[in-house]
Amino acid sequence: MSALVPLEWDSRLLGLSCARLEFAEECGLGPRAVASAVGRAFAAGASAGVRAELVAAKIQPEDCDVRMLSEEAPDRRIVALGREWTFRSPAGAFAGPLPENVAFARAANGGTDPVPFLPLAADMRHSRYYLDPDVGEDRALAVWEASITGHCQGFAQEIAVASLGGRPAGLATIHLEDGAARLHIVGVLGWARGRGVGARLMRAVLARHGEARAVTVEAFAENQAAVGLYRAVGFSPVAEHVVLHFWRRG
Ligand SMILES: CC(C)(COP(=O)(O)OP(=O)(O)OC[C@H]1O[C@@H](n2cnc3c(N)ncnc32)[C@H](O)[C@@H]1OP(=O)(O)O)[C@@H](O)C(=O)NCCC(=O)NCCS
């Protein structure tokens, strides 16, 4: 059954109660079935005391009809934030030369210093926090600074750090799961962009994990730099979702 799952970290950082909609078997059954499931999830959440002010959801485009969703969740205001693509690495071993000047820091060894990468927090414009005006710039910035800090200091099992001219220039944070390596934060500092640092980072991740695992990363379709980067290193989109925020009215 679809359900509201409380998001404690988001709630703390944003200063409002947050949850995400988790779908069960309804995905792919069409917009009517998915809208009904959303309605039931909100009703069950309310009965269980999950009265989140902000609920985030990702719905496949063919299942997403905002009008139907509004009918099933009348006490919610819906903000559609855009389409997100999930990219997956090409199958098989990485064939190119091993990229230089990329180091892998492990959480088990203390991670890496987040401070050089904090300026990236202001650049994560293509994220649901920045894309929703009701979250606001200040909160979006605070969430990203905390996220970069947390990932560098242990939340991500590994952090790939690329340098340029001896300075930290870009990072990719890596969550390792059975058969998969999920990249969460990928960013290159403004001064180092357009000089191949992002491609170097991605190729280093592929060389390390690409043979044994599917490497995946998500990007909003409008994020031309990220989409261009992932395609340039051989990734292709394997899923598409509409990203929505449901705000409680009143
Ligand atoms: C996305 C990002 C990591 C790219 O890093 P980068 O070091 O500038 O990328 P590279 O110089 O290695 O570029 C590699 C390829 O990516 C593509 N690319 C990079 N920037 C691009 C842009 N602005 N527009 C279109 N394609 C772009 C190109 O195909 C490029 O190859 P080319 O230079 O041979 O044309 C960087 O722009 C960034 O940090 N953006 C802000 C944070 C962000 O949005 N992160 C992604 C979240 S999913």
pLDDT tens string, the chain, 250 residues long: the values are 789 999 999 999 999 999 999 988 777 889 999 999 999 999 999 898 888 999 999 999 999 999 999 999 999 999 999 999 999 999 887 887 889 999 999 999 999 999 999 999 999 999 999 999 999 999 999 999 999 999 999 999 999 999 999 999 999 999 999 899 999 999 999 999 999 999 999 999 999 999 999 999 999 999 999 999 999 999 999 999 999 999 999 7
Q: Which residues approach ligand 1 with their CB closer than 6 A?
A: 123-124, 126, 186-188, 193-199, 219, 223-226, 228-229, 232
Q: Ligand 1 mean position to 228 CA, how many Å?
A: 6
Atom number of ligand 1 nearest to Cα 226: 1
Question: CB of 135 within 8 A of CB of 16?
Answer: no
Atom number of ligand 1 nearest to Cα 187: 39
Alpha-carbon distance 10 to 4, whole Å?
14
In this structure, what token pair is assigned to residue 36? 């009904």
The per-type count for the chain, helices as H runs and strands as E runs, is 7, 10
- State the burial class of residue 89 (Cβ atoms within 10 Å of its Cβ: 0-12, 13-18, 19+): buried
**Prediction pTM value:** 0.95
Bridge partners (DSSP) of residue 162 are 102, 170
Q: Ligand 1 mean position to 48 CA, how many Å?
A: 44
